[in-house]
Amino acid sequence: MLIRLIKSLFNLFIDEEKEYIDRKIKQYYDLFYKNGKHPLNREQCEAVVRNRRYNQVIAAAGTGKTTVLAYRIKFLIEEGIKPERIIAITYSRKAAYEMEKRLKEEFGIDMVEIRTIHSFAYKIIRRERGNRLLIVTPEESKNIIREYFKKLLKSSSFFYDSYHKFLENYQRIYPG
């Protein structure tokens, strides 16, 4: 009974999502299909308008990820999100450069922050640590982790108990 109710609610959510996607694709038809050099296909349109707080696009090289991300940014701005509240994360500098170029040339957008995953992580570290960044060797990082681990074992009974249960299970599964 409960499983049927959960499935029913899940299906309701999926149906609403499909209706939302169809409605938004129709609303932005001219943007998606008649916009210059890079019109979208149906799957790309769905990726652009999917109604979730965080969206991730995973696809093979040359399939239009940069294009989808550029359109997603334009879509979000059209929906009322301020450009300075959007951050686009790419894997490579080349993709970040291409994204900046496309947003500027095709949509006149230049206020969006575009970073590689590495520069994004570095920005967070700098914000948290200021200019006190240290580069540690692999051996130093092992020592830091070892010391922190020892402190956790001493200070948290939950961690201590969980760690020992893990070890017991590990030894049971992988004896010797």
Q: What is the pLDDT of residues 105-124, one digit of tens each?
A: 999 999 999 999 999 988 88
Q: Are residues 125 and 149 in the same domain?
A: no
Which residue ranges in the chain fall short of pLDDT 50?
Answer: none
Q: Are residues 96 and 149 in the same domain?
A: no
Q: Are residues 147 and 97 in the same domain?
A: no
Tell me how far apart the alpha carbons of residues 103 and 94 are, in angstroms, rounded to a whole number.
Answer: 14
Q: Give pTM, 2 decimals.
A: 0.66
Range of the domain at 79: 2-129
Structural domains in the chain (count): 2
Q: Are residues 113 and 162 in the same domain?
A: no
Place of tokens 């291409």: 98
Q: Are residues 121 and 146 in the same domain?
A: no
